[in-house]
Amino acid sequence: MDRKMKKRIVMTILGQCACGVSGGLFKAAALGVDPFFSFMSGMDELVPLSFGSLWAVGCALILLFTFLADRHYIGLGTIVNLFVIGSIAEFIQNSMLKLFPEQPVVLRIFLLAAGIILTCISAAYYYAADLGVSAYDSIALILANTWHVAPFRVCRILCDSVCVLCGASFFLLAGNPLSKLPTITGIGTVIAAFFMGPLIDYFETRWAIPYFRD
């Protein structure tokens, strides 16, 4: 195994694991979930399946789309994402809640900012490694790089925004009161929808790709 391949494997595994950490910080902030989770949470209000089953079905359908559209995006990173990230995110979230049982708004804002930035940095590195991405990540990448719909940052904003709008709509269509909408579509969800695409693009171009080429 040559040096470049070793670097790609390390970037993929560490990037995905860091994504799990950032997911835990995001959830601990309790200022809204990420866009795809918002979509699935809204769908959960309408579909008579357990959330775990619904999540598995949703990811399976996206992976089928990815396999048919551009299977290049299915690889080591996809496997790590499916089987490792959830456990890491849960561990980090529980650890933060134990360390800070009473969370002031300032701390929650800090956790949200840290979660979003770390998500973007980690995604940038495993994108650059090019050994597979998460099921949801693949949609924007295929739109941008395979179908050339628009630059990645634009496609990611589009995907995230659609997820947020659909998640909120499903939640309200299920008869839930508007006052409870922030539980799945909070300020953190909206910020993530509009800034994650550009930030991932920035960190990949400025940090991850130069690191890989060194």
Distance, CA of 89 to CA of 91 (rounded, Å) = 5
pLDDT of residue 184: 85
User: Using 50, 70 and 90 to split pLDDT, how confident is the model at 98?
Assistant: very high
**How far is residue 15's CA from residue 128's CA, in Å, rounded to a whole number?**
10
Share of the chain above pLDDT 90, in %: 85
Distances, alpha carbon 108 to alpha carbons 31, 126, 160, in Å: 7, 27, 22
The reported pLDDT for the residue numbered 193 is: 97
Token pair 């933060």: residue: 96
Confidence of residue 33 (pLDDT cuts 50, 70, 90): confident
Model pLDDT for residues 35-54, shown as the tens digit of each residue: 999 999 999 999 988 988 99
Look at residues 203, 187, 195 and name the one whose alpha carbon lies nearest to residue 33: 187
Domain boundaries, the chain: 3-213
